[in-house]
Amino acid sequence: MQREAFSRILGWSKGENRLPLVLRGARQVGKSYLVRWLGKNHFNQFIEINLEKNPELSELFDSNNVEKIIEAIEIHSNMSVQPGKTLLFIDEIQAYPKILSSLRWFAEDCPELHVIVAGSLLDFALADFEYSMPVGRIEFMYIEPFSFFEFLDALEEKKLLQVLESMKCSEELSPAIHRRAMELFKRYILVGGMPKSIKVYRETKKMEMVSRVHQGIIESFRSDFSKFKKRIPPERIRKVYDSIFQQVGKKFVYARVDSEEKNAAIKSALELLLLARVGYKVESSHCNGIPLGAESNEKNFKIFSLDIGLISSALGLTFPNLKDDEDVMLVNAGALAEQFVSQMLRYKESQVKNPKLFYWVREKSGSEAEVDFVAQVGLKIIPIEVKSGKSGTLKSLRVMASEKKLMTAVRFNSALPLESEITADSWTFKLISLPIYLAERFHSLLE
């Protein structure tokens, strides 16, 4: 199955000013597979060192002398390391994060050697370990679940993908193409973007098998809870993790996790889960100007799951007899629509930086308003409203556009593309309505 990350990591390998690469992302999003693909297809030699399976191999990096480190690796692997022709992959580095400090010696004394490290709980480990980060001596790449377009590619929907990738905002879209895209969008909601779930669906077309994969992934995350800080009980972390699925798309309220626990205790557990990247925050911003993060409110936030496909399975929904041409009505359709858009926006941002999303809320007594997402396109602030159906009120969008004097707003829904002018309190702005399955093309369409 092809991934956009293949071209990114290949581009890194051919870069002239290349530094050791650190892959960041949750468990089972495909980090290790990505590196193995690169090593087996574009290098003469590929050496993989897994520090979780073989913790004793951490001793290979005890020296600050790169020549001695390489010599130890050659003896262990029984291979000759050839800078420029060998790819060295250090996996599960969260088991010994101090090895990251050694990467500076590779960058300074052997820059020709291609070095990649990865770890599913890397961010968590870094927050719990004091050491000197080799700033300016390493670079990062963020790996997210498959996007909807990558899902289409995996299902061999080449022609549909070509149309969706090339269309413009003002371009008419055939109702037949729209129906097919919506069918596959609904299927993506259930299958999700985790590589293994897509692989199983592609091979079997059985949602029952996909549900089993989801449950396995969720349990693998839960098994990691015992590796978290000893002072936080695994049961508390489990409660917070389960609450992420239940509170998707809503302002996260600590009391909804456990009314008998203190907010500080719930907050600490949530922060660990976010470091493990099994969920992510969308913070509110006052949106008076750019950058949006300059006016963000860390106390007012929503939480979304790593992947949309895991949500229904986590809430106990299974599909033993579901066929490809059948539709499903979900009670949490609105939350799932927001999850999808956030996941696609996050996917596109991850190609250039650590993704961070925002939304807008006005908590004024008697005139509350909330816009699902807010993004920066060029120098402009663009509010984004998400609807699971074809219609819905735009009260909050009108309020924000008028109050902030915004020229353009976007609505994602299940209807065909449409552009219109909206007037609110004597302020007129352009509303661009787009089919929800085009969410990952948000920036390219608006630009």
When comparing pLDDT for 281 and 127, which is higher?
Answer: 281
User: Residue 373: what pLDDT?
Assistant: 97
Among 130-134, 256-260, 288-292, 316-320, the range scoring the smallest mean pLDDT is 130-134
**44/136 same-domain check:** yes
Could you tell me if residue 173 is left (phi over 0), alpha (psi between -120 and 50 degrees) or otherwise beta? beta
pLDDT at 227 > cutoff 80: no
Domain end position, chosen among 95, 110, 142: 142
Domain end position, chosen among 100, 116, 142: 142
Q: Are 60 and 71 in contact (CB under 8 A)?
A: no
pLDDT at 89 > cutoff 90: yes
Nearest to 284 by CA among 250, 241, 317, 245: 250
pLDDT grade for 80, boundaries at 50, 70 and 90: very high
Q: Give long-range contacts, CB 8 A cutoff, 24+ apart: 347-353.
A: 347/144, 347/145, 347/147, 347/440, 348/147, 348/440, 348/442, 348/443, 350/142, 350/143, 350/144, 351/4, 351/8, 353/142
**β-pairing, 86-91 with 45-50?**
parallel
Q: Are 251 and 301 in contact (CB under 8 A)?
A: yes
Mean pLDDT of 356-374: 88
CA–CA separation, 297 vs 300, rounded Å?
6
Q: Are 126 and 67 in contact (CB under 8 A)?
A: no
**Domain of 386?**
148-446
Where is 71: in which H helix or E strand?
helix 66-77
Tokens of 447: 């630009």
Mean pLDDT of 179-203: 95
pLDDT at 286 > cutoff 70: yes
**356/432 same-domain check:** yes
**275/416 same-domain check:** yes
Report CA-CA distances (Å) from 45 to 11, 121, 231, 389: 18, 27, 43, 52
Domain end position, chosen among 107, 127, 142: 142
**216/312 same-domain check:** yes
How does pLDDT run across 152-169, given as a tens digit for each residue?
Answer: 999 999 999 999 999 988
CA–CA separation, 173 vs 175, rounded Å?
6
CA–CA separation, 356 vs 342, rounded Å?
10
pLDDT grade for 393, boundaries at 50, 70 and 90: confident
- Angle of helix 175-191 versus helix 207-223 axis, rounded to 10: 40
Mean pLDDT of 190-197: 96
Residue located via tokens 């050496």: 47
Mean pLDDT of 84-95: 93
When comparing pLDDT for 121 and 148, which is higher?
Answer: 148
**271/372 same-domain check:** yes
How does pLDDT run across 235-252, given as a tens digit for each residue?
Answer: 999 999 999 999 998 999
Greatest Cα pair distance in the chain? 75
Answer whether 0.75 is exceeded by the pTM: yes
Could you tell me if residue 392 is left (phi over 0), alpha (psi between -120 and 50 degrees) or otherwise beta? left
pLDDT grade for 18, boundaries at 50, 70 and 90: very high
**167/111 same-domain check:** no
pLDDT at 130 > cutoff 90: no
β-strand partners of 87: 46, 114
User: Residue 325: what pLDDT?
Assistant: 59
What angle is formed at CA 129 by the lines to CA 124 and CA 130, rounded to 5 degrees?
A: 140
pLDDT at 368 > cutoff 70: yes
pLDDT grade for 432, boundaries at 50, 70 and 90: very high
**245/382 same-domain check:** yes
**249/351 same-domain check:** yes
% of the chain surpassing 70 pLDDT:
94
Residue 194 gets which letter from DSSP?
Answer: -
How does pLDDT run across 38-73, given as a tens digit for each residue?
Answer: 999 999 999 999 998 999 999 988 888 999 999 999
**113/152 same-domain check:** no
How does pLDDT run across 316-348, given as a tens digit for each residue?
Answer: 776 666 666 566 666 678 899 999 999 999 998
% of the chain surpassing 90 pLDDT:
71
Residue located via tokens 């449950």: 215
User: Residue 164: what pLDDT?
Assistant: 96
**137/164 same-domain check:** no
Sign of CA dihedral 237, 241, 242, 248: positive
When comparing pLDDT for 229 and 390, which is higher?
Answer: 390
CATH number reported for the structural domain that contains residue 83 in this entry: 3.40.50.300
Q: How many domains does the structure of the chain reveal?
A: 2
**92/215 same-domain check:** no
Cis preceding linkage at 291, omega within 30:
yes
**100/234 same-domain check:** no
User: Residue 311: what pLDDT?
Assistant: 93
